[in-house]
Structure 1
Amino acid sequence: MVIHPHDLIEVSNLKYLSLNEDKEWVTASLRRTPFVVVRRADPSADGYIPVGVRGQERNQREAAFLDPKGVCQIVSPYAIAKRQMWNFLSTERRQQPVLQLMDVVAEMMADWRWGPAGSAGFEIATGCPAVKASSDLDLVIDGSEAIDYSTAEGLLRKLEQLDVRIDIQLEVKEGAYVLREILERRTSTVMLRTSSGPRLVRNPWQ
């Protein structure tokens, strides 16, 4: 079983989740929508998957670990984009600014392996309302191969013309970079976000 940060996992039974403490909103959220998101952290000593639970409020985020036996299905951001799963949402929900833009974003990103993460990815994959009128759009791009900087700069310029703020993480084998930080870096190093914490590197594809 291969999983990556930002993947959404449907949990077959809540008994497979290990939580630091019982919180009423966590249980309620999981019963309503039994999905967790894979965190960028090392697995536990017994091989449990680091995941996070989303609540309805922005400050409701809970770290947990999931026994691999509890994995029912995995939905990656790339699968969401490939299948254009936002088309399965109700017409009413697609009026939200972030969701309204998905077809336009898909057209702009046609030459990339990409997908939505964050609240947009969660709502599109689960059907559970998570996006608000003020929500940003979080995207991930497959950065396993070195990107062409001028092409990436052109993409950012096009995305910046849209009516919502868009944040893009470039996923590589060792972790992730913020695309904007790579393109705008003013020093010889850039921040790589890894499962064991951030570190500065000189060449993103070394």
Structure 2
Amino acid sequence: MVIRTHDLIEVSSLSCLRSEEVPMWAAASLKQTPFVVGRRAEPLQDGSIPVGIRGTERNQRHAAFLAPQGIGRSITPYEITERRMWTALSAERQGLPVSKIMDRVAELMRDWQWGPTGSAGFEMVTGYPAMKETSDLDVVINTPVATDGKQAEILLCGLDKLGVRIDIQLEAPEGAYILRELVGRRADTVMLRTAQGPRLVRNPWR
């Protein structure tokens, strides 16, 4: 099973999680909602994959590793979009700002392979109420080949009219770029996020 950054993974056995020290909030979160998210780092030699544990607060994020035998089902952000999983939220949760714009986002991004991540993706998969009234919408776009800069600028312009801040990562074969850092940039280089750490790239559209 291939697990990628942003994939949501149900942990079949919490004993398969490895971390130097798990905070109390992380242990409580896992007990209530045994899901972790794939993070951008190198796997261990024994095949354990890098994952992140989410808490209830924005600053509650903890890095860990999950042994292969602890991987239950996994769902990619792209599957969330394909299945339009936001439509399964309760009527109350569909009233949140992020939930209310999801159909419009899907319409604007119909020509892209994309999916929600962050609190929105987590809630759509697990049912845990992770989104808040003030939540941003985090999105990942799969870009196996170079993306046209003008097309990306038009997309971002349309999304910015929806009233909720939308942060987009472009997942390329070598790592990820932040769309807002690419569009309208003035610097000669831009940051590429890789499993080995960030590095500056001169021409990301190649």
Cα displacement (A) at 1:205: 4.7
Cα displacement (A) at 1:187: 2.2
Point out the more displaced range, 192-201 or 141-150. 141-150
CA contact (8 A) 2:118 2:137 kept: yes
Gaps of 5+ in 1: none
* Correspondence for 1:21: 21
Query: C-alpha separation between the residues in 2 aligned to 1:96 and 1:19?
Result: 34
TM-score, with length taken from structure 2: 0.96
Cα displacement (A) at 1:203: 2.0
* Correspondence for 1:141: 141
Q: CA RMSD in A?
A: 1.1
Query: C-alpha separation between the residues in 2 aligned to 1:122 and 1:167?
Result: 16
* Correspondence for 1:74: 74
Give the ranges of 4+ consecutive aligned residues of structure 1 lying more than 2 Å apart after TM superposition.
none
3-state SS of paired residue (2:41): coil
User: Counterpart of 1:144 in structure 2: which amino acid?
Assistant: P
User: Counterpart of 1:134 in structure 2: which amino acid?
Assistant: T
3-state SS of paired residue (1:140): strand
User: Counterpart of 1:161 in structure 2: which amino acid?
Assistant: K
1:59 and 2:47 aligned: no
Gaps of 5+ in 2: none
Q: 1:95 to 1:203 in 2, by over 3 A?
A: same
* Correspondence for 2:153: 153
Query: C-alpha separation between the residues in 2 aligned to 1:189 and 1:24?
Result: 40
* Correspondence for 1:173: 173
* Correspondence for 1:186: 186
Q: Percent identity?
A: 61
Could you report, residue by residue, the CA deviation over 1:72-121 in whole angstroms, capped at 9, with x for unpaired residues? 11111111011101111111111110111111101111010000011111
Cα displacement (A) at 1:28: 1.3
* Correspondence for 1:200: 200
Point out the more displaced range, 176-185 or 18-27. 18-27
3-state SS of paired residue (1:43): coil
CA contact (8 A) 2:119 2:131 kept: yes
User: Counterpart of 1:94 in structure 2: which amino acid?
Assistant: Q
User: Counterpart of 2:189 in structure 1: which amino acid?
Assistant: T
CA contact (8 A) 2:149 2:205 kept: no
Equivalent pairs, count: 206
Cα displacement (A) at 1:173: 1.1
User: Counterpart of 1:64 in structure 2: which amino acid?
Assistant: A
Query: C-alpha separation between the residues in 1 aligned to 2:12 and 2:189?
Result: 42
1:47 and 2:40 aligned: no
